[in-house]
Amino acid sequence: RGLLVDGAAYEAESVLLATGGMSYPATGSTGDGYGIARRAGHTIVPPEPSLVPLVIREKQCRDMMGLSLRNVTLSLYDGKTCLFQELGEMLFTHFGVSGPLVLSASCHIPQMEPDRYTLGIDLKPGLTPEQLDLRLQRDFQLFQNRTLFNALSKLLPKGMIPAAIQLSGMDGNIRVNQITKAQRLAFGAFLKAFPLTVQGFRPISEAIITRGGVSVKEVSPKTMESKLLPGLFFAGELLDVDAYTGGFNLQIAFATGYAAGCSM
């Protein structure tokens, strides 16, 4: 029993493979373990990025680069089915969106297909549609002689106003006292579901974790020992186990490492 490294044999009762995933390769986790496990006969569930920023089709994200949103509700949809919805923080980048809400949403995308998934940002989650409409009426009253473009400064971050107007289909040059009730309601509905189209994940090198890895069907859950090759143990992100943000991935690494350590 043991290891062969560059032709040199090392005897050992047990060997633990804990090389991590392939996210953030600068940390040393370059995915070597998948090949080693495969050569030992194990099945590798294809590694994919998870907890990863999302590339967005709408070019307006680039215009809002650096803008972060707090206390917004982000929803992820597959068609009409909502896969994820949470209140929190996110930010716009040159490629699309990132930040805690987006990373969490990314792990609810089962398989990436460009344009299949959409995001909706509720920019005013604390207001019902009726309350938001009253708020719009108040602001439009206050700025009644201004254009829509110049009447949203109390409602939206400055950097977001051009994108909101473009994506809502409203005319930014219209005077707010000329906006019809139907237009105002439609704009309110837009602010409750600011729509973005997901084009893809950012590369796995930018993902916080790698999902996929050594199939857990081939590993004893109590001892972390290979069911195929006695004496070979696994721990951590190399395994096909992944979780949400919040320390759960470190917990997986600690718990599987402990279980393996106790059994070797």
Ligand X SMILES: Cc1cc2nc3c(=O)[nH]c(=O)nc-3n(C[C@H](O)[C@H](O)[C@H](O)COP(=O)(O)OP(=O)(O)OC[C@H]3O[C@@H](n4cnc5c(N)ncnc54)[C@H](O)[C@@H]3O)c2cc1C
d(CA 58, CA 41): 44
Residue 9 vs 182, nearer CB to ligand X:
9
Q: Measuring CA to CA, which residue among 65, 85, 67 is closest to residue 75?
A: 85
> Which residues make up the interface to ligand X (CB under 6 A)?
18-20, 23-24, 27-30, 32, 208-209, 236-238, 247-250, 253
d(CA 45, CA 5): 25
Residue 152: CB minimum distance to ligand X, A: 36
Residue 63 vs 206, nearer CB to ligand X:
206
Q: Measuring CA to CA, which residue among 33, 31, 14 is closest to residue 22?
A: 31
Residue 129 vs 246, nearer CB to ligand X:
246
d(CA 85, CA 65): 23
Residue 123: CB minimum distance to ligand X, A: 27
Residue 257: CB minimum distance to ligand X, A: 7
The β-bridge partners of 119 are 76, 196
d(CA 17, CA 246): 25
Residue 24 vs 149, nearer CB to ligand X:
24
Residue 172: CB minimum distance to ligand X, A: 39
